[in-house]
C-alpha cells in the first residue's frame, strides 16, 4: 500500500516551518511521498501581497529538491478558477490506485474555519485529515479538544476519539488525526515584511528560496 500526504497552501513563501512539519508528518505516518500543492487562486488569501503562482511553485521546487520523499504538484496551477481543496482531493483520489492511502494536512487555524470551505463536509468522505497544532500549543491536549468540538458541531456527532491511536473515527467517514508536530514559530507574513524592509531572512527560509526571492525581487 502506497501512503501519500497532500499539503496545500499559499506557500507565500515556503519556509523552514513548512518543511519541518512535512518531515514530521512523513515520519509519524510512514508516508511515502508528501505532495506540496501551492494554491494558484486561493479563495481565502487573495491580495496584493500574494506572489505569482509560478514563483511560489518554483520556490517549492527549490526548497524540496534535496528530499526524495517531497514533491510539488502543479495540479491547482493547471486548473482554472478558484483553488478549492475539495476539487483537488477529488481529482487526486480519483487518479490514485485503489490501494493508496491518502491524508490531507492542515493547520488547526484552517480547521477552525473549515465550514467556510467549499463542500467541506465532503472532505471527510474522501480523505483522512491530519490537523496540526499551533506553535504555542503544548502537549496536544488543547488540540484534541478543539478538533473534537469542531467535528462534533460541524461535521458529525458520531465521531469518537481513540486514545490508543490518537485519532477520531466515524462509522461512515474518514479518520481525523490531531498531530502535535514541532511547529517553528515562523510566518510567511513576517518573511514578507522583513524582505520589504530589506532585512535578512536567512535561517527562516532555505538558502535557495532566499536567493530566488532576491533574484525575482519578490515582496518588495
Q: What is the pLDDT of residue 43?
A: 77
**More confident of the two residues 17 and 139:** 17
Q: How many residues would you count in the chain?
A: 220
Whole-number Å distance between alpha carbons of 127 and 66: 28
pLDDT bucket at 135, cuts 50 / 70 / 90: low
Task: For residue range 109-124, list pLDDT tens digits in order.
Answer: 999 999 999 999 999 9
Question: What is the rounded CA–CA span in Å between residue 9 and residue 133?
Answer: 16
Is residue 176 within 8 A of residue 159, CB to CB? The reply is: yes
**What tens digit of pLDDT does each residue of 9-62 get?**
999 999 999 999 999 999 999 999 999 999 988 876 556 789 999 999 999 999
Confidence category of residue 182, pLDDT binned at 50, 70, 90: confident
Q: How would CATH label the architecture of 3-186?
A: 3-Layer(aba) Sandwich (3.40)
| Average pLDDT of the residues in 197-220 | 97
* Predicted pLDDT at 49: 87
The whole-model pTM stands at 0.94
Angle at 97 between CA 173 and CA 111, to 5 degrees: 35
**Is residue 134 packed enough to be buried (19+ CB in 10 Å), middle (13-18) or exposed (0-12)?**
middle
Evaluated on CA atoms 187, 220, 201, 67, the torsion sign reads positive
> What residue ranges do the domains of the chain occupy?
3-186
Reading the block at residue 170, the C-alpha cell is 466515524
Report the range of poorest mean pLDDT among 31-45, 49-63, 129-143, 193-207. 129-143
C-alpha cell at 153: 458541531
Q: Residues 6 or more apart from 201 whose CB is under 8 A from it?
A: 191, 194, 195, 210, 213
Alpha helices by DSSP H, 29-168: 53-64, 75-78, 85-95, 108-111, 120-126, 141-154
Residue 96 has pLDDT above 90, yes or no: no
Amino acid at each position: 500500500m502506497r501512503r501519500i500526504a497532500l499539503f496545500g497552501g499559499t506557500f507565500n513563501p515556503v519556509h523552514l516551518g513548512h518543511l519541518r512539519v512535512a518531515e514530521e508528518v512523513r515520519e509519524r505516518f510512514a508516508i511515502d511521498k508528501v505532495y506540496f500543492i501551492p494554491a494558484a487562486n486561493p479563495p481565502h488569501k487573495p491580495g496584493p501581497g500574494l506572489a505569482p503562482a509560478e514563483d511560489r511553485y518554483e520556490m517549492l521546487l527549490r526548497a524540496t529538491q534535496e528530499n526524495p520523499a517531497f514533491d510539488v504538484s502543479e495540479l491547482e496551477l493547471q486548473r482554472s478558477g478558484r483553488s478549492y481543496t475539495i476539487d483537488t482531493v477529488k481529482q487526486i483520489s480519483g487518479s490514485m490506485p485503489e490501494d493508496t492511502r491518502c491524508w490531507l494536512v492542515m493547520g488547526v487555524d484552517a480547521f477552525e474555519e473549515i465550514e467556510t470551505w467549499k463542500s467541506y463536509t465532503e472532505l471527510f468522505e474522501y480523505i483522512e485529515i491530519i490537523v496540526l497544532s499551533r506553535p504555542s500549543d503544548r502537549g496536544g491536549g488543547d488540540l484534541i479538544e478543539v478538533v473534537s468540538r469542531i467535528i462534533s458541531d460541524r461535521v458529525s456527532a458520531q465521531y469518537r476519539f481513540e486514545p490508543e491511536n490518537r485519532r477520531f473515527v466515524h462509522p461512515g467517514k474518514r479518520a481525523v488525526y490531531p498531530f502535535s508536530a514541532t511547529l517553528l514559530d515562523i510566518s510567511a507574513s513576517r518573511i514578507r515584511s522583513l524582505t520589504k524592509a530589506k532585512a535578512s531572512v536567512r535561517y527562516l527560509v532555505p538558502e535557495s528560496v532566499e536567493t530566488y526571492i532576491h533574484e525575482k525581487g519578490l515582496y518588495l
